Amino acid sequence: MDLGTSSLSLNTIPTKFLRPIHSSTSSSTLFLLPQPRNNPFPLKATLKEFNIAATQKKMSRELEYSNLTALSPLDGRYWGKVKDLAPYMSEFALIYYRVLVEVQWLIKLSQIPGVEEVPSFSDDAKSFLQGVIDEFTVDDALEIKKIERVTNHDVKAVEYFLKQKCESHPEIAKVLEFFHFSCTSEDINNLAHALMLKEALDNTILPVVDDLIGAIGKMAEDNARISMLSRTHGQPASPTTLGKEMAIFAVRLSRERRDISQVEIMGKFAGAVGNYNAHLVAYPSIDWPQIAEEFVTSLGLSFNAYVSQIETHDYMAKLFHAIYRLNNILIDFDRDIWGYISWGYFKQITKAGEIGSSTMPHKVNPIDFENSEGNLGVANGTLSHLSTKLPISRFQRDLTDSTVLRNMGVGLGHSLLAYKSTLQGITKLQVNVARLSEDLDNCWEVLAEPIQTVMRRYGVPEPYEKLKELTRGRAVNKESIREFIEGLELPNEAKTELLKLTPHSYVGTAVDLALTTEKAVKLVNGKC
């Protein structure tokens, strides 16, 4: 037994090795361990020090929920940055959209001539039902959760709540049993989830993505003419412009944004196993598939006619994977900007009072881009699982999708947090033109490419090999390049043009590509 280890616990030491002693400054009993030969210092520990686990257990019972006690950083530390998603992705939102679907279905039943038991509602009844939706509060949601504690069924709790809520209205009270008529819980849930996604994308996610694309596009056009050394395989390569490199990301993100917006968000409303079994037994003469399609599309969703008990979730897989791809592109952007900052191509504007390092006062860390990259990784882990799991369900239905769907807000929340972090980071960037220029001035060897290409045009033998001998492993500067060009057997006009080249000017169409970024983004989205 090695009694010198710092991880030693009293519980693991036979009592015969412990010698009790008493402290004059404390009522606690201490135990002195025998001093091991290889450790000149005795190991002491009070009973209080070894009761940490019990203290933590007691603390956990006493803690109340707050931003500081939330298990998820989205609901704690980052709440202020992601709270705009809460109306669409929270438990409250799920309950609200369930209420909306149930109420709208009852209204739809009142509009079907063949369902005589639910006559057309008066304007007063319609107004009352609409008020149930429009005036739905957190207290209402808590009441539903209270009912759920008895029913142990979340959707049934919504039905019971609505019956209680509407029993005071004489007209609606007569048709209370038509709440949830011929529905399986998943008829309500799949439409609620679809509406949650649709509203979250339209009102929160896509607007921020648009801001992000716009900010990167502005970087492209503002820096269109600022030449920059490229690096392929980490080595100096043909020059580009800073703006053109930003333009690439603006257009890439636009393509994924387009794909996200073009995903059909779908819904089903076909009963227990997708065949309208109960509907047709109750009202065999009604065209229920047509009614279901009308109802689903009235909610702004696309209709899925071929389903089991659940909507197949294929559109969700497509949607989440499109967001995953957008996030992957943004990771690429974050890492490139991080690298440019580390090379000094960008300076970061500081704010009074901000600290970059707890020990190194000179540091201004690229924390926004690091934060974005980290959160995009967390988001993509969740989105990847959603994409691969949700389309799979045993036979006509299992419940594995139910708990997974509750994490849609996790994937979207970390994505939103990342988008905002990148946007914040962009606002702090300041181009260091002198540093960009310095790198170009030190890399005249990048002109080997245009020189040997012109040599090929005019039939100069072994152009590549001659430039390889000149440049590889040797210091190359303006003078050596000029001397090489002047010694070539080329037409004077060709020599003159080559002698005009510098690492700063050898950028091809980079400037034009950067200046047309906005047009390219609009073209991707069909706006040109």
Q: What is the mean pLDDT of residues 136-146?
A: 97
194-251 residue pLDDT tens: 999 999 999 999 999 999 999 999 999 999 999 999 999 999 999 999 999 999 999 9
Does residue 524 carry a pLDDT above 90?
A: yes
Q: Is the pLDDT at 409 greater than 50, yes or no? A: yes
Q: What percent of the chain has pLDDT over 70?
A: 86
pLDDT at 14: 46
Same domain, 457 and 420: no
CATH of residue 398: 1.20.200.10
- 212 within a domain of the structure (yes/no): yes
pLDDT at 354: 65
First-last CA distance in the chain = 78
Last residue of a domain, one of 436, 459, 476: 436
Which of 35-39, 58-62, 354-358 shows the lowest per-residue confidence on average (mean pLDDT)?
35-39
Do 262 and 286 have their domain in common? yes
What mean pLDDT is predicted for residues 314-333? 98
Strand partners, 21: 30
**Residue 21: band (very low, low, confident or very high) from pLDDT cuts 50, 70, 90:** very low
Task: Look up residue 462 and give its two tokens.
Answer: 């072994």
Per-residue model confidence as pLDDT tens digits over 423-456:
999 999 999 999 999 999 999 999 999 999 999 9
Assess whether 203 and 240 both reside in one domain: yes
pLDDT at residue 33 greater than cutoff 60: no
Question: What residues form DSSP beta bridges with 347?
Answer: 430
- Please name which of 445, 505, 449 lies closest in space to residue 478, comparing C-alpha atoms: 445
Residues 499/482, Cβ–Cβ less than 8 Å: yes
Based on the domain organization, do 331 and 374 belong to the same domain?
Answer: yes
Rounded to an integer, what distance in angstroms lies between the CA atom of residue 230 and that of residue 236?
Answer: 6
60 domain residue, yes or no: no
What domain range is 393 assigned to?
A: 192-349+363-436
Angle at CA 46, nearest 5°, toward 43 and 47?
Answer: 130
CATH code of the domain in which 173 resides: 1.10.275.10
Structure tokens at 471: 């440049």
Choosing from 26, 122, 357, 505, the catalytic residue is: 357
Within-domain flag for 79: no
pLDDT one-digit tens code per residue, 470-511: 888 778 899 999 999 999 999 999 999 999 999 999 999 999
Cα distances (angstroms) measured from residue 185 to each of 56, 66, 267, 462: 40, 32, 13, 75
- Whether 402 and 464 map to the same domain: the answer is no
Residue 233 appears among annotated catalytic residues:
yes
The CATH number linked to 487 is: 1.10.40.30
The Cα 300–Cα 332 span in angstroms is: 35
Residue linked to tokens 């906005």? 518
Number of domains in the chain: 3
Residues 232 and 287 in one domain: yes
Do 315 and 411 reside in the same domain of the chain? Answer: yes
Tokens in use for 151?
A: 């029913």
Torsional class of 508: left (φ above 0), alpha (ψ -120 to 50), beta (otherwise): left
**Looking at the structure, do residues 311 and 208 belong to the same domain, yes or no?**
yes
Is the pLDDT assigned to residue 22 strictly greater than 50?
no
Residues 125 and 153 in one domain: yes
Confidence category of residue 24, pLDDT binned at 50, 70, 90: very low
- Point out the catalytic residue in the list 6, 7, 233, 285: 233
Among 128, 163, 183, residue at a domain's last position: 183
Q: Residue 315 domain-assigned?
A: yes
Does residue 528 lie within any of the structural domains? Answer: no
Does a structural domain hold residue 144? Answer: yes
In a domain, 368, yes or no: yes
Q: Active-site residue 60, yes or no? A: no
- The confidence band for 141, taking pLDDT boundaries of 50, 70 and 90, is very high
Residue 67 lies in a domain: no
pTM of the model: 0.86
Measure the CA–CA gap between 169 and 171, rounded to whole angstroms: 6
Q: What is the DSSP string of 175-212?
A: TGGGTTTT--HHHHHHHHHHHHHHHHIIIIIHHHHHHH
Chain-wide mean pLDDT for the chain?
Answer: 89
Let me know whether 381 and 292 are in one domain: yes
Same domain, 197 and 171: no
Same domain, 142 and 289: no
Per-residue pLDDT at 438: 97
Which of 151, 183, 215 finishes a domain?
183
